[in-house]
Structure 1
Amino acid sequence: MQFTEFNFKPFINETLENIKFKTATPVQEKLIPIALSGRDIVGESKTGSGKTHTFLLPIFQQIDTQIDGVQAVITAPSRELATQIYNAAMAFTKFDDTIRITNFVGGTDKKRQIEKLSGNQPHIVIGTPGRILDLIDAQALKTYTANIFVIDEADMTLDMGFLNEVDKIAGTFDKKVQMLVFSATIPQKLQPFLKKYLNNPVMEKIATKTVISDMIDNWLISTKGRGNNAAILEVLQTVNPYLAMIFTNTKERADELHRFLVNNGIKAAKIHGGVPPRERKRIMKAVQNLDYQYVVATDLAARGIDIEGVSHIINDAIPRDLEFFVHRVGRTGRNGMSGTAITLYQPSDDAAIHELEKIGIKFTPKVIKNGEIVDSYDRDRRDKREKSKEALDITMIGLVKKKKKHIKPAYKKKIGWEIDKQKKAKKRIEGRAQGRAERKSKRQSF
C-alpha cells in the first residue's frame, strides 16, 4: 500500500516524499487506519517493523496548531529511543514549522525546561517517563489537554521499571484520551495496566514473514576454546566492516572488550547504561558522523535505536533473553541494504542455538581460514557421528548375543569381520552423501 492512499495532509505527504517513504510496512498498513479512527490500540510487532511512523503519522494528521496546548504525549524507555523518535518527528516540521515538538529526557537541564514551558506548551511531548512525570509534578507540563498517549516499547518500559511512572502519567489524562501501546512482545505483567486504561482496544499482532530479514547473512563461528577477545579481533581484522556493532551481555563485559580493542589499535565507541547521558549523546552523534567504525554495546542499543549504515553485527555471546538476538541482528540489513550477523559460540551454547533454530532462525557455520571467512562443517556433525556409532553398537551387541548362543571356533574373529563390514558400509554411505553435498554446493556457486 502506498502512503499516498492514506489521504494525509499535504505537509505529511511532502515529508514522506522527502524522507523517501513510499510503501507502508505491514504494521503501518494495518494499524494507521485504526489509529486514525480514534480506537485504542495494542500493537505487537517485531523491531524494525515501522512502529514509529505507525503512531507519528496519525498524530500529525490530527494535530491542530490553532490550539495552544499539549495534544500528544509519547513515552520511550530510554533517552536514545526518545531522541530517535524526536528526530523522526522533527522531520515533519520542515514542511510545517508551526508544530511545536519537545524532547524531555533525563540528564538534561530540568530548570531550563521548566522556564521554557512557562512561555508556551508544546503540541507534541516526547520523552522518558521519569522526566515527563517530573515536569508534570512541577506543574510546568500540562499534559491533561492531550488527546493521544503513546507508549512505545512497552515491554522494555516494564523491564526497566518505568511502568509506575507511565501509570502516573496516564492518570493525568481525560478518560477520552486515545491510547496507542506498541511493543515487540506483550508480557503478562503488562495486562493489568492495559485493562486499567485502555477502552476496548484493538489487539493486533503483526506476524513477520521471516524472523530476521532475508537481507541478512547469519553466521556462526566457533571460538575453538580461545578467549572471545582474540576471536573478535580476528573477525574484525578479517571482515573490515563499514560499521560494526558488537553486542555484549553485560556493561562490565562491554568495558572489558572495549578496552581490549582500543589497546589493540581499534578505534571503537562504547554505549551502555553506565555511560553518562551526555557522553552517550556525544558518542551517538560521533557514530552517526562515521567517526567510529566499531561500536561495543549492550542490549540497550539493540531495542529500537537505529544507527544508519550498520553493515555487521557481532554477538560476543548469545543473549540470555533469546528475544534480544532478533533485536540485535535487526540493527543491520535495514532499508533494503544487506547485512551480516556473526555469532561467536562454544559447545555450551548448543542448547540456546537449537532454541533459536526452533523459532525459524537459520545459521550458516563459518570458519576463518587463511585470512578469509569460509564455510565450515555442520556443528552437529559430532552428534550425528555419535548417533551412527550408537546404531552400530546396537548391531554389534546383537551379533555378540547371537554368536554366544552357538559358540564355534574363531567366533570373535568373525564378529570382528562383521563389525568391519558394517563400518566400511557406513563410511561408503557417508562418503557418497558428502560428495553429493559438495557437487550441489559447486553447482549453486556458478
Structure 2
Amino acid sequence: MTKFNDFAVSENVLQAVSNMGFEEATPIQEQAIPTALKGLDLIGQAHTGTGKTAAFGVPMVEKLEKNGSTVQALVVTPTRELAVQVAEELNKIGQYKGIRTLPVYGGQDIGRQIRGLQKRPQIIVGTPGRLLDHIRRRTVRLGQVSMVVLDEADEMLNMGFIEDIEAILQETPQERQTLLFSATMPGPIEQLARRFMRDPQKISVRSKEVTVPNTEQFHMVMEERQKFDVLCRLLDTQSPDLAIVFGRTKRRVDELYEALNKRGYSAEGIHGDMTQARRDSVMRQFKDGSIDILVATDVAARGLDITGVTHVYNFDIPQDPESYVHRIGRTGRAGNTGMAVTFVSNREVGHLRTIEYGTKSRIPRLSTPTVKEAIEGQQRIAVEKLLKTVESEDITHYQPLADELLNEHDAETILAAALKMLTKEPDTTPVKLTEEAPQWSKRQNKPYQGGHYRRNKHKGGRGRRPYNKK
C-alpha cells in the first residue's frame, strides 16, 4: 500500500495530510496524485467516499504558489454543500504552505463572497451558477488559472449544468491542466472531456472498491405504514452515535425529522428548500453532536464528509445504484466501520435486485427487532452511561446523598430506579407520514445498466429517457 510520504510532495503538504489522519493512500489517490503531479490531464471514475478531494487537492496545493495575486486553481462542484466541504479540506491541505481556498455558491450573500475574493485566495471552489455570476461581474477572473477540477461531473450533468461548465472553461487558459471526476461516464461527459481536455489519462476505481467495504449492508422488507415504527426500533436497538436517515422527497424529510422529535429523538432535517443559514446551522449541530440524527434528501447530503457517522438508514429506497453508493458512503469512512439498512416495500423488491446488480453486491435481509429487543437495547445504553459516569466523572459531591438513600432503601432498588430513569423506553406517540409511491426499476424488470436521464420534451416534460451512450 502506498503511503503519502512516498509521493514527491513537499514537507508542508505531508505535514498537513498527516494532521488530517491520512497515512495510506486510497486506490484513487494512489493512481491520481502521481499523474496530476506530472501535469497531465486526468479522468477519474470514482464514487464519493473514495478520497477524491485529496486525490486532486494534494497535487493542486503542491503545484500552486503562495505569493500569487490571482486565482491559480478552480474546482467546480454540483452543490453548495460539496463546495463548502471541498474548500474545508483544501484549506487543511494548504494550511502550512499558505494556500488559501474560498468557496462561492448560491444562497450565500454575494457581497460577503466578493470581500473574500478581495483577499486573493489561490483556489476557488464553486457551483456553476454562482461562478458564472462572479465572472459576469468581473469579481472572478480566470485568466491565470493553471488547474481546473470538475468534481462529480455526472451529477452536474443531471442538474443541467453542462452548458454552464462549458462557459466557465472557456474563461480559462487553453494550456491549463484539467482533472475530471465522475462516478459514471455518460455520453455528454465523454464529449465534454474530448472538447476541453488534452489526451487525458484514465483512472477507474472498480465497483467493489467503492461500495464501502467497511460498511455492513442490510435490507428490511415491510409495508409503507410500518416503516417509521421499524426505524424507531432500529434506533433503540442499534443506538447509533450519529445516523443519517435518507428520504426521497423534501416533504418526507420534514415529516420524518418532526416525527422523530415527537418520539423523543434528537433529529434535524436538511433539504434544498431550506435557507443556507438553516442548513449551515443544522450541519454544525450534527458535526458537534448536538443532534444525533440527520434526515436528508440525496442532493442535500451530496459531498458531506462527516466523521463518526455510524449508521445510514435508507427510509426510502434509492432511485439507482449510484445513489445507493453515494448514500452508504456517508458511513464506514477513514477506516471506521458502519452499517447501512435499506427499507424495502414488497413492491420494491425487484428494484432492490437492480441495486444489487448495479453494485455487484448482495444485500442480506435483516429481521425486524421486537419491542423487547428495543427495550433491552435502551437498557444497555443506560448501563453504559452509568458505568461511564462512575469511571470518568467526579461524583464525590453526590456520595453523601447516596448514603442517605441507602439508609432508607436497599442498593438494588436504588440502582434499578436509576436505570429506569436513564432508559428511554419505546415511545408510541402517534405520527402520520404521507405515503410515498414505490420506487420502480427504471428499465421495468431489466437489470439497471447505469446512465443518466433527462426530460422527454415530447411528453410535456413528464417522461424520462436515458441518454444514448456512445
Same fold? TM cut 0.5: yes
Matched, 1:306 2:305: yes
- Equivalent residues of 1:302, 1:324 under 8 A apart: no
Cα 1:326–1:93, aligned 2, differ >3 Å: closer, same or farther? Answer: closer
Structure 2 counterparts to residues 39-438 of structure 1, below 5 A: 39-97=40-98, 99-117=99-117, 119-210=118-209, 212-224=211-223, 226-358=225-357, 359-367=359-367, 368-372=369-373
2: CA distance between counterparts of 1:132 and 1:158?
16
Deviation at 1:281, TM superposition (A): 0.9
- Equivalent residues of 1:211, 1:361 under 8 A apart: no
Cα 1:214–1:175, aligned 2, differ >3 Å: closer, same or farther? Answer: closer
**Map of 1:3 onto structure 2:** 4
Which whole-Å deviations, capped at 9, do the CAs of 1:93-115 have from their partners, x for residues lacking one? 43233x23211111222124334
- Equivalent residues of 2:61, 2:94 under 8 A apart: no
- Equivalent residues of 1:246, 1:314 under 8 A apart: yes
- Equivalent residues of 2:66, 2:97 under 8 A apart: no
Deviation at 1:291, TM superposition (A): 0.7
Q: Identity of aligned pairs, percent?
A: 33
How many residues end up aligned between the 2 structures? 372
Deviation at 1:195, TM superposition (A): 1.9
1: CA distance between counterparts of 2:116 and 2:214?
45
Which whole-Å deviations, capped at 9, do the CAs of 1:306-357 have from their partners, x for residues lacking one? 1211111111121122321111111111111111111112211111122223
Cα 1:371–1:185, aligned 2, differ >3 Å: closer, same or farther? Answer: farther
1: CA distance between counterparts of 2:343 and 2:139?
50
More divergent stretch after superposition (202-211 vs 18-27): 202-211
Deviation at 1:231, TM superposition (A): 2.4
Deviation at 1:43, TM superposition (A): 0.7
**Map of 2:16 onto structure 1:** 15
Helix, strand or coil at the partner of 2:341: strand
Deviation at 1:134, TM superposition (A): 1.0
Q: So what's the TM-score if we normalise by structure 1?
A: 0.79
Which structure exhibits the higher relative contact order, with contacts defined as CA atoms closer than 8 Å and separated by 6 or more residues? 2
> Radius of gyration: which is bigger?
1
**Map of 1:38 onto structure 2:** 39
Structure 2 gap segments, 5+ residues each: 377-470
1: CA distance between counterparts of 2:214 and 2:119?
46
Code of the residue aligned with 2:166 in structure 1: it is D
**Map of 1:383 onto structure 2:** none
Which whole-Å deviations, capped at 9, do the CAs of 1:176-220 have from their partners, x for residues lacking one? 011101111122222322222111211222214445233222122
- Equivalent residues of 1:269, 1:292 under 8 A apart: yes
Deviation at 1:157, TM superposition (A): 1.1
- Equivalent residues of 2:321, 2:356 under 8 A apart: no
Helix, strand or coil at the partner of 1:52: helix
2: CA distance between counterparts of 1:110 and 1:357?
43
Q: So what's the TM-score if we normalise by structure 2?
A: 0.75
Deviation at 1:58, TM superposition (A): 0.8
More divergent stretch after superposition (343-352 vs 214-223): 214-223
Deviation at 1:76, TM superposition (A): 1.0
- Equivalent residues of 2:153, 2:181 under 8 A apart: yes
1: CA distance between counterparts of 2:194 and 2:87?
28
1: CA distance between counterparts of 2:86 and 2:70?
20
More divergent stretch after superposition (345-354 vs 200-209): 200-209
**Map of 2:420 onto structure 1:** none
Helix, strand or coil at the partner of 2:366: strand
1: CA distance between counterparts of 2:355 and 2:364?
13
Code of the residue aligned with 2:150 in structure 1: it is I
Which whole-Å deviations, capped at 9, do the CAs of 1:348-367 have from their partners, x for residues lacking one? 11111222232422222222
Cα 1:210–1:18, aligned 2, differ >3 Å: closer, same or farther? Answer: closer
Cα 1:217–1:174, aligned 2, differ >3 Å: closer, same or farther? Answer: same
Code of the residue aligned with 1:243 in structure 2: it is L
- Equivalent residues of 2:87, 2:102 under 8 A apart: yes
* RMSD of aligned residue pairs (Cα, Å): 1.9
Cα 1:215–1:93, aligned 2, differ >3 Å: closer, same or farther? Answer: closer
More divergent stretch after superposition (304-313 vs 86-95): 86-95
